[in-house]
């Protein structure tokens, strides 16, 4: 099977606010996974009311358990990232029998299995799989050198994920939720959770092997000796975590625990490298913006929380505007006096930094930054607000001129707006949408409300990934309130009224709908009913 050239997009936003910083007097939690909207990663929204538990949130297709969301007591969010849970062992093969590998001075024989992979529309693919006691051999052995590589992961032998999620779904408070996480069946994730008692908590979870010291576990380690054998699995108490930080809020938008809040105590010097497992301590555009918003308000209202969840502000807008202002003021070439350039510069300088449907400047900025990256301009210096050298200032203006020509070439005119080229929908029904897609890191274009578009034949972009299961949860003691937004609709049937209704009425408008978590409220808003008889 050919390996896919494009990795699936991943990322997420998650944050929690304590009652002390909430105008609602309760903990507030946001879960906002950024995944593809079709395929294996698809979530569907559901509500469950049983004698045992009430649930609201999003689940993977085929599962009745909430993956992200809340019950009547606890809410939780996950973002990609976590400890190092897997290793690679280098095996020494027997020259006389390549199906044997050395271990503690003796030869062991790998177990071999022939598997068939059925491929739709094609002939089945047959593969031979070799298993060792350390793990599966994941690529063809190098017989000339007499070595092979085995992948080792605790997850290969674990079957308790469903049970753990069941316990997470039934948790009555953060302590019970923490105990469920302690089963170590969950994949590597940054998990933020909160409860109606006012607690907010974070754990960087994963089934982490206890590794012998003296080896570089970021590279293949010798697999011919029991000296490199794991010594069990770390208890959850060993993992990176915090409960009720004095700052009163936390966020993780796929970043290091060290920058989840101001003066974070979760620094890498306190943990083994493979538990902390972060090679950077900087913020991305989403986390920087989240901290700006959460830190700027002592008492966050419901309206502010909703605005934070769907924020489309460019956190580097002012820095780029300043760089452009300086470059334009110092220009002696006459570039800035050309009518189209002069108008574009003024449009960008007047921009409020929001990627919204009616913004002309947002389109200019998007293609301007693309041109800067293509021309290897030092965008990190611009992001930081530091001055550019003379040569870079000239390149900055050249990149804007290039962006102007690109827009005219792609769309036939320069005065297009963000909504003209950035849409959401499916099945022939598309609507202009706010929010920016991921542009490849620092110096790109990305907002908290993450809307990633795929280029179409007409050079516009139709969103197909990003924010896809937004849920904002207010954990009030007298009853949890929550609000959601999905990008298309609840039904996958093109003939259904709910095939694309949320795209038009909610997602494109950056509006959240109530989930009516109280069952009596829900029953007053039921459209249809279906009774299933279980034999």
pLDDT digits (tens, 9 = 90+) for 101-157: 999 999 999 999 999 999 999 999 999 999 999 999 998 999 999 999 999 999 998
Q: pLDDT tens digits, the chain, 535 residues: what are they?
A: 343 445 555 689 999 999 999 999 999 999 999 999 988 778 999 999 999 999 999 999 888 899 999 999 999 999 999 999 999 999 999 999 999 999 999 999 999 999 999 999 999 999 999 999 999 999 899 999 999 999 999 999 899 999 999 999 999 999 999 999 999 999 999 999 999 999 999 999 999 999 999 999 999 999 999 999 999 999 999 999 999 999 999 999 999 999 999 999 999 999 999 999 997 667 899 999 999 999 999 999 999 999 999 999 999 999 999 999 999 999 989 989 999 999 999 999 999 999 999 999 999 999 999 999 899 998 889 999 999 999 999 999 999 999 999 999 999 999 999 999 999 999 999 999 999 976 554 447 889 999 999 999 999 999 999 999 999 999 999 999 999 999 999 999 999 999 999 999 999 999 999 999 998 999 999 998 999 998 9
pLDDT over 70 percentage in the chain: 96
pLDDT attached to residue 438: 64
Token pair in block for residue 413: 């005119």
Q: Beta strands of 332-447 (E only): which ranges? A: 422-426, 429-432
Q: What is the dihedral of CA 96, 102, 107, 109, to 10 degrees?
A: -80
Contact predicate 287/253, CB 8 Å: yes
Kindly write down the DSSP assignment for every residue of 18-85, as one continuous string.
Answer: -GGGBTTSSEEEEEEEEEESSSTT-EEEEEEE-SS-EEEEEEETT--S-SEEEESSEEEEEEE-----
Q: What is the largest CA-CA distance in the chain?
A: 82
| Integer angstrom CA distances of residue 467 from 84, 240, 470, 489, 492 | 26, 26, 7, 14, 18
> What are the backbone angles phi and psi of residue 487, rounded to the nearest 5°?
-80, -20
Contact predicate 183/164, CB 8 Å: yes
**Residue among 466, 464, 468 at smallest CA distance from 455:** 464
Tell me the β-bridge partners of 74: 195
Kindly write down the DSSP assignment for every residue of 263-285, as one continuous string.
Answer: T-S--GGGS-HHHH--S-----H
> What are the backbone angles phi and psi of residue 336, rounded to the nearest 5°?
-75, -10
**Residue among 311, 83, 56, 316 at smallest CA distance from 181:** 83
| Integer angstrom CA distances of residue 88 from 443, 490, 493 | 34, 42, 44
**Residue among 396, 299, 296, 381 at smallest CA distance from 344:** 396
pLDDT attached to residue 62: 84
Contact predicate 266/250, CB 8 Å: no
């Amino acid at each position: 099977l050919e390996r896919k050239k494009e990795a699936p997009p991943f990322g997420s936003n998650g944050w929690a606010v304590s009652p002390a910083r909430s105008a609602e007097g309760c903990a507030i939690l946001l879960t906002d996974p950024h995944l593809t909207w079709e395929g294996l990663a698809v979530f569907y929204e559901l509500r469950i009311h049983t004698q045992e538990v009430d649930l609201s949130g999003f689940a993977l297709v085929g599962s009745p358990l909430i993956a992200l969301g809340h019950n009547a007591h606890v809410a939780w969010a996950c973002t990609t990232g976590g400890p190092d849970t897997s290793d690679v062992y280098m095996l020494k093969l027997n020259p006389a029998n390549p199906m044997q590998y050395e271990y503690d001075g003796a030869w062991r024989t790998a177990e071999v299995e022939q598997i068939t992979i059925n491929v739709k529309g094609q002939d089945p693919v047959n593969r031979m799989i070799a298993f060792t006691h350390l793990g599966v051999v994941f690529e063809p052995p190098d017989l000339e050198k007499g070595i092979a590589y085995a992948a080792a992961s605790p997850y290969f032998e674990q079957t308790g994920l469903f049970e753990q999620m069941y316990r997470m779904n039934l948790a009555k408070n953060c302590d019970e939720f923490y105990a469920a996480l302690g089963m170590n069946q969950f994949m590597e994730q940054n998990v933020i959770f909160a409860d109606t008692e006012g607690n907010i908590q974070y754990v960087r979870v994963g089934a982490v092997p206890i590794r012998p010291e003296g080896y570089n576990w970021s590279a293949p380690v010798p697999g011919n000796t029991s000296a490199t054998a794991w010594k069990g699995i770390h208890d959850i108490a060993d993992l990176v975590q915090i409960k009720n930080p004095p700052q009163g809020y936390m966020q993780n938008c796929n970043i290091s625990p060290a920058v989840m809040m101001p003066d974070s105590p979760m620094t890498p010097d306190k943990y083994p490298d493979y538990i902390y497992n972060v090679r950077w301590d900087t913020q991305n555009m989403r986390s920087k913006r989240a901290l700006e918003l959460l830190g700027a308000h002592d008492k966050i209202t419901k309206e502010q929380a909703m605005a934070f969840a769907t924020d489309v502000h460019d956190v580097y807008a002012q820095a780029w505007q300043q760089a452009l202002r300086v470059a334009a003021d110092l220009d002696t070439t006459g570039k800035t006096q050309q009518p189209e350039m002069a108008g574009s510069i003024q449009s960008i300088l007047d921009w409020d930094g929001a990627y919204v449907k009616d913004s002309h400047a947002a389109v200019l900025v998007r293609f301007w930054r693309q041109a800067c990256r293509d021309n290897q301009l030092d965008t990190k210096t611009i992001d930081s607000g530091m001055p550019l050298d003379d040569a870079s200032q000239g390149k900055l203006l050249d990149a804007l001129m290039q962006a102007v020509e690109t827009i005219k070439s792609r769309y036939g005119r320069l005065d297009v707006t963000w909504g003209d080229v950035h849409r959401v929908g499916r099945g022939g029904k598309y609507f202009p949408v706010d929010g920016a897609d991921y542009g490849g890191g620092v110096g790109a274009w990305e907002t908290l409300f993450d809307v990633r578009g795929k280029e179409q034949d007409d050079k516009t972009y139709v969103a197909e990934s990003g924010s896809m299961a937004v849920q904002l949860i207010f954990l009030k003691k007298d009853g949890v309130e929550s609000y959601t937004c999905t990008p298309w609709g609840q039904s996958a049937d093109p003939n259904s009224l709910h095939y694309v209704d949320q795209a038009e009425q909610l997602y494109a408008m950056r509006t959240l709908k109530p989930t009516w978590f109280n069952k009596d409220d829900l029953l007053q808003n039921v459209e249809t009913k279906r009774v299933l008889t279980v034999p």
